[in-house]
């Protein structure tokens, strides 16, 4: 292509430079919106407007004489038309996400018509070349869809409750797009790019407002979680009971800021104590609230302190019908030092481990139904000797379900082997070592261990 005359180049610069600036702004804004959506917010609205803005900017870029002059090509009709037929799809998706499928499903119908029309128009373009009829059909679809999007903004609650900056900027763009597709021009310039820049400005302002609001809400949630963590920590025993002939240790590691594991003691006198270890299904604040209920309910069981089955029965009646689909597993053990016995009962919980002074490791596997769902659930006690040198281990399922470096769960077999191998360690040291053994990888559940040694 021979060099263009100076006057033609100057005329092209004067006319097309604003469009080139608008294209650059649209592409930059669109790619930024896509990046933010994918990397941080996961906001579909932001993703769709990013795709729409990027495609719109590319169309402005290629449909520019300055680009054709710079790349020395006579026409870029094909990529321009492909984008022209594709761009209404994210346009319609954006408004469906913003306003919903409503207004008598008109926006949803518009979306499906655009999805069906785009490949037909592109195939026709490749086979028969540019067609005024295809372009006219596309304009009619865009005008009709734009009118459908305008109506909810003007006449529905969705439009009335939308932030004003976003509402006015969308309204300005829709009017500009509507006018452009009707052939309206100002001094040979179409007004749609100006309307689109107004839209980007409104979206940027709204996004900034939402980001500030989101940060505030996150700060409030973090503050509330910190408060919940302090409250939950306060429901756990601050100190362990001291009894003659018994040494106790406990270790607790929540997976999240708040958790559903719980343990507590009822000390009757210097020779008797009852221990409860419980695990609420789920994680986070709901589980922590139920754990707080357990604290109060267990504290009321002093009259049943020597009867773990009666304690679990009472807890089940208290929790029945109030857990909204959640449940609790628990073990309860009453230790009588002078009688050298453990009275034990379980409710859907992993069995306790009893390591004898001889080194033998046995499971206390008396178990009833989980607490909460079943009003008439019943529980049974079992009696086991607890002689000097014996160790009782109560724990939650996070211990045996923790994944090790070999990809396998820690498991009940490894737990029994661990109890046998660490028979000479102090209870506190044993609890720490067990926690460290199951915490090699990322913690997958709340972890709780209570250890009791008979002296």
The residue out of 186, 217, 248 marking a domain boundary is 217
Query: CA of 96: how far to CAs of 110, 118, 206, 207, in Å?
Result: 10, 18, 18, 18
Query: Average pLDDT, stretch 391-406?
Result: 87
Structural domain that includes position 90: 6-217
* Residue 153 confidence class, pLDDT cut points 50, 70, 90: low
Q: Same domain for 255 and 169? A: no
- In the chain, what's the furthest Cα-to-Cα distance? 110
Q: Same domain for 213 and 251? A: no
Q: Same domain for 64 and 142? A: yes
Residue 10 located in a structural domain: yes
The residue out of 170, 185, 217 marking a domain boundary is 217
Mark out the alpha helices in 182-307 (DSSP H runs): 192-235, 284-299
pLDDT of 165-223, one tens digit each? 777 777 777 777 777 766 766 666 667 777 777 877 777 676 667 667 777 777 776 66
CA 202, chain centre distance (Å): 28
Q: Same domain for 256 and 301? A: yes
CA–CA dist 426, 405 (Å, integer): 26
Given this model, what pLDDT does residue 121 score?
A: 85
Element (H, E) at 319: helix 308-319
Query: What is the tally of structural domains in the chain?
Result: 2
Residue 188, judged by CB atoms within 10 A of its CB (0-12, 13-18, 19+), counts as exposed
Q: Same domain for 168 and 49? A: yes
Using the structure block, give the residue that is written with the tokens 């865009």. Answer: 142
Query: Average pLDDT, stretch 136-153?
Result: 75
CA–CA dist 237, 220 (Å, integer): 28
Residue 362 located in a structural domain: yes
Q: Same domain for 267 and 212? A: no
For residue 179 the two structure tokens come to: 């006018």
| CB neighbourhood size of 213 (10 A) | 10
Residue 228 located in a structural domain: no
Strand 391-395 versus strand 447-454 pairing type: antiparallel
Q: At what angle do helices 6-36 and 44-62 cross, to 10 degrees?
A: 170
Residue 225 located in a structural domain: no
Residue 15 located in a structural domain: yes
Residue 433, judged by CB atoms within 10 A of its CB (0-12, 13-18, 19+), counts as middle
Lowest-pLDDT choice from 75-89, 298-312, 368-382 = 75-89
Q: Are 314 and 366 in contact (CB under 8 A)?
A: no
Residue 229 located in a structural domain: no
Given this model, what pLDDT does residue 14 score?
A: 64
Indicate whether 1 pLDDT > 50.
no
Q: Same domain for 155 and 275? A: no
Q: Same domain for 199 and 323? A: no
pLDDT of 28-65, one tens digit each? 888 888 887 777 656 677 788 888 888 888 888 877 77
Q: Any idea what the CATH number is for the domain that residue 365 is in?
A: 3.60.40.10
Residue 161 located in a structural domain: yes
Using the structure block, give the residue that is written with the tokens 């362990």. Answer: 240
Element (H, E) at 70: helix 65-71
The residue among 273, 346, 361 whose CA lies nearest residue 309 is 346
The residue among 61, 55, 56, 91 whose CA lies nearest residue 170 is 91
Q: Same domain for 163 and 252? A: no
Element (H, E) at 116: helix 106-128
Q: Same domain for 257 and 397? A: yes
Given this model, what pLDDT does residue 383 score?
A: 93
Q: Same domain for 305 and 207? A: no
Residue 222 located in a structural domain: no
Q: Same domain for 400 and 267? A: yes
């Amino acid at each position: 292509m021979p060099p263009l005359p100076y006057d033609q180049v100057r005329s092209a610069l004067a006319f097309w430079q604003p469009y080139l600036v608008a294209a650059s702004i649209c592409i930059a804004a669109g790619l930024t919106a896509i990046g933010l959506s994918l990397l941080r917010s996961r906001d579909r609205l932001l993703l769709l407007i990013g795709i729409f803005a990027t495609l719109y900017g590319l169309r402005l870029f290629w449909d520019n004489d300055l680009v054709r002059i710079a790349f020395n090509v006579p026409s870029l009709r094909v990529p321009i038309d492909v984008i022209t037929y594709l761009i209404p799809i994210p346009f319609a998706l954006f408004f469906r996400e913003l306003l919903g499928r409503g207004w008598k499903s008109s926006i949803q119908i518009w979306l499906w018509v655009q999805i069906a029309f785009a490949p037909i128009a592109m195939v026709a373009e490749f086979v028969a070349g540019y067609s005024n009829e295809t372009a006219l059909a596309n304009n009619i679809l865009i005008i009709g869809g734009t009118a459908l999007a305008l109506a909810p903004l003007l006449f529905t609650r969705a439009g009335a409750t939308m932030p004003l900056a976003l509402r006015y900027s969308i309204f300005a763009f829709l009017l500009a797009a509507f006018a452009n597709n009707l052939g309206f021009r100002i001094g040979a310039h179409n007004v749609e790019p100006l309307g689109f820049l107004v839209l980007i400005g409104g979206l940027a302002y709204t996004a900034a407002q939402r980001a500030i609001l989101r940060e505030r809400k996150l700060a409030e949630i973090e503050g509330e979680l910190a408060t919940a963590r302090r409250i939950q920590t306060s429901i756990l025993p601050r100190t362990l009971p001291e009894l003659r002939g018994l040494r106790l240790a406990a270790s607790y590691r929540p997976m999240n800021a708040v958790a559903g594991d719980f343990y507590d003691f009822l000390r009757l006198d210097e020779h008797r104590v009852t221990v409860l270890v419980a695990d609420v299904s789920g994680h986070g604040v709901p589980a922590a609230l139920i754990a707080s209920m357990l604290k109060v309910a267990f504290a009321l069981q002093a009259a049943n302190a020597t009867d773990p089955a009666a304690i679990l029965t009472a807890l089940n009646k208290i929790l029945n019908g109030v857990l909204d689909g959640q449940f609790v597993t628990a073990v309860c053990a009453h230790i009588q030092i002078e009688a050298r016995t453990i009275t034990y009962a379980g409710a859907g919980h992993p069995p306790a481990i009893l390591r004898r002074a001889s080194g033998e490791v046995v499971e206390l596997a008396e178990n009833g139904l989980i607490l909460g769902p079943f009003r008439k659930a019943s529980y049974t006690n079992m009696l086991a000797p607890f002689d000097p040198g014996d160790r009782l281990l109560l724990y939650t399922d996070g211990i045996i379900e923790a994944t090790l470096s070999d990809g396998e769960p820690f498991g009940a077999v490894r737990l029994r082997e661990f109890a046998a191998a660490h028979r000479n360690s102090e209870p506190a040291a044993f609890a720490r070592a067990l926690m460290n053994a199951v915490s090699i990888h990322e913690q997958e559940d709340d972890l709780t261990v209570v250890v009791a040694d008979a002296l």
